Structure 1
Amino acid sequence: MFKNILVIGGTRFIGRLLVQRLLHAGHRVTIATRGYAPDPFGGRIQRIRADRRNELAMRAVAKAGPFDIVYDQMSYSPLDAAIAVRTFAGQVGRYVMTSTIDAYRVLGFGAAGLLTEAGLAVEAQPIDTQYPWHDPRRATECYVSGKVQAEAYLVRDGSLPLVTPRLAHVLGGPEDFTGRLAHYVELARAGATLPYSNESAAVSFMTAHAAADFLFWSGMQDFTGPVNAACDGALSASQLYERVGEVLESPVRMRRAAAPAEAGRLSPFDLPGPMVLDTSRAKALGYSFGHTDEWLDHTIRQHDLAFV
């Protein structure tokens, strides 16, 4: 049975892949974006131009419903969450707010073992109503706290049928605008030495396609609450760089960084401690994750071709 679905932010990277899956499954899809990025979907979708941070604009989006599912790819602060509540409470069957492994950063890096959904008592996290969340100059510095506080607001309010997938770090091909994996490929091709802080600080990863598949699946289920998503086979930054070197057949050099002097020059995913997601809840609900060994080498080669 088809569903009427809204995707807030569906023109780039994971959002675009999610829309493709929804259309392939026969659902009716509306995307709400600011209209800055083109999409390849033609007349197969309905488009509404709207700024996610403008409440009046989002109310206009809601009038295109009612929606069975809303996928919110663009909730980055408690202000965004408050707009979602005032706009969609009582009007949607399921609200999927994309969250992140980085939400667990608020716990620090001293905890041993895997990161579980229950280990982050998000409802107890403080919400800062005075912070200038919508200041674009602070978008990077407030990303983690914004995501956590958006979750906290939605959970405390309780009026939306909420699911918060906490996605592992995504490694994509040349379409990955973050450039994080490309960073390692370029370093390896340049013969540069990688400074790293902790060779055992493994991090969970997944592909953009896996992230889109998991979001699609999460929307079609009936569970609520947070749920971790990651492929098996976590890697530290130094292990990732070593893997890049193996794939490119280019020996790489690494050295332990002198903290904290080089802290500002460390590479993506280089952390003081491990951040590995426990995915047992998703698996118990019926989802099956792959392993990084199944796709990482191919993804690295994609970046190497783009670099050359």
Structure 2
Amino acid sequence: MHKNILVIGGTRHVGKLLVQKLLDAGHRVTLATRGRTADGFGQRVQRIVVDRRDHAAMRAAFGSASYDIVYDQLCYSPVDAAIAIEVFAGKVGRYVMASSIEVYRRLMGRQEDAFEELDLDLAAQAIDMDYPWHDPMLADESYAEGKRQAEALLYRDGRLPLVTVRLGHVLGGDDSTGRLAYYVALAQSGQALLYANAKAATSFISADQASDFLAWSGTQDFLGPVNAADGGSLSALDLHRRVGLVLGEKVRALPLTTQAGLSPFDFPFPYVMDTARAACLGYRFGDTANWLDLAIHQLQPELVCGSPASTAYTQTPVPEKVRQPAFIA
């Protein structure tokens, strides 16, 4: 059955792939964005220009609207979550928030097993509505805490029929974070990777698989948090070596005892999610090995020469540490 769907975000990376899948499935899709990024969907979508972080603007834009499904790609804090509750409570059939593996970050080192959804006690999570969540200078350091508090507030309130999809580290697609590009540039520069723990693997998911799982989650009837990650977790050292193998480069690595200046995806302890709940619900993820090599190839300078994403990495021998959010809509 075709649905009336709102996607908050949807012009970049996973969000753009999600919208395409929804359109391919025959759904009616409305995009809510600030209107700053062209989406390429033409007349196939309706558009509402609105600032997701503006209470009044959101109320004005969606005061009388109702949707079968809302995908919130831009909920980064409890303030954003409060806006969602105020605007959409009682008016949506299903609310799917794109969350992240980062909600488990502060649990690293406390258990040997992969993180299950209920390992995170959201009932005990403090919520700070006065923190400057929307300050761009604090975006990186507040990302994990913001996602965690957003989930806590939404579940604590209970008025939205809520699913929070906790995505693994997303790679591939038009990823602008530069995280995988870091390892490609490092391998091609011949400089050594400095790493903390060779066995501290973490969970990844391709941008295509992430968008597919989000689309699937919207059409199901389960509620609550659900982990989403491909099989085949990797440590930073594993990833570095894989990049070298794919590119035919001899790579070097040196262990460190400090946590300062480490590369993306380098963690002191294993940081892996358990996806058993998704499997029980009927979804089967792929394996990181099935798409990682292609994602690496696509970042070779000769393939992306002249693009904004490649410039920083081809001009400097060692890229400065890049931003590490787990999900970008």
TM over 0.5: yes
Q: Look up the match of 1:89.
A: 89
1:64-84: CA deviation from partner (whole Å, max 9, x where unpaired): 731000000000110000000
The Cα of 1:110 is off from its aligned counterpart by 2.8
2:108, 2:271 within 8 Å by CA — same for their partners in 1? no
Greater Cα offset, 121-130 or 37-46: 121-130
Distance in 2 of aligned mates of 1:179 and 1:300: 12
Matched, 1:52 2:30: no
1:209-232: CA deviation from partner (whole Å, max 9, x where unpaired): 000000000000000000000000
Distance in 2 of aligned mates of 1:244 and 1:108: 26
1:110, 1:273 within 8 Å by CA — same for their partners in 2? no
- Pick from 276, 294, 298: which aligns with 1:298? 294
1:11-54: CA deviation from partner (whole Å, max 9, x where unpaired): 00000000000000000000101111111100110111111110
2:18, 2:214 within 8 Å by CA — same for their partners in 1? yes
Q: Look up the match of 1:6.
A: 6
Query: Would the alpha carbon gap of residues 90 and 196 (structure 1) be closer, same or farther in structure 2, given more than 3 Å must change?
Result: same
Matches within 5 A, 1:12-51: 12-51=12-51
Q: TM-score, normalised by structure 2?
A: 0.90
2:201, 2:235 within 8 Å by CA — same for their partners in 1? yes
Aligned residues: 304
Distance in 2 of aligned mates of 1:12 and 1:97: 16
2:69, 2:95 within 8 Å by CA — same for their partners in 1? yes
Give the residue type in structure 2 aligned to 1:183: Y
Q: Look up the match of 1:110.
A: 110
Q: Look up the match of 2:210.
A: 211
Q: TM-score, normalised by structure 1?
A: 0.96
The Cα of 1:62 is off from its aligned counterpart by 1.8
The Cα of 1:264 is off from its aligned counterpart by 3.0
Distance in 2 of aligned mates of 1:64 and 1:94: 17
Q: Look up the match of 1:289.
A: 285
Matches within 5 A, 1:157-306: 157-173=157-173, 175-259=174-258, 263-304=259-300, 305-306=303-304
Distance in 1 of aligned mates of 2:233 and 2:123: 28
Q: Look up the match of 2:327.
A: none
Greater Cα offset, 289-298 or 58-67: 58-67
1:53, 1:80 within 8 Å by CA — same for their partners in 2? yes
Distance in 2 of aligned mates of 1:218 and 1:60: 28
Query: Would the alpha carbon gap of residues 64 and 21 (structure 1) be closer, same or farther in structure 2, given more than 3 Å must change?
Result: farther
1:114-166: CA deviation from partner (whole Å, max 9, x where unpaired): 10001001122110122111212111111110000000000000000000000
Distance in 1 of aligned mates of 2:210 and 2:292: 15
The Cα of 1:265 is off from its aligned counterpart by 1.4
Q: Percent identity?
A: 59
Secondary structure in structure 2 of the residue aligned to 1:303: coil
Distance in 2 of aligned mates of 1:26 and 1:269: 37
Gaps of 5+ in 1: none
The Cα of 1:257 is off from its aligned counterpart by 1.4
Give the residue type in structure 1 aligned to 2:83: I
Greater Cα offset, 290-299 or 5-14: 290-299
Distance in 1 of aligned mates of 2:267 and 2:128: 26
Structure 1 residue runs of 4 or more that deviate by more than 3 Å after TM superposition: none
1:173-201: CA deviation from partner (whole Å, max 9, x where unpaired): 4x210110011001101111000000000
2:247, 2:297 within 8 Å by CA — same for their partners in 1? yes
Distance in 1 of aligned mates of 2:295 and 2:129: 41
Give the residue type in structure 1 aligned to 2:72: D
Secondary structure in structure 1 of the residue aligned to 2:187: helix
Structural RMSD (CA): 1.1
Secondary structure in structure 2 of the residue aligned to 1:139: helix
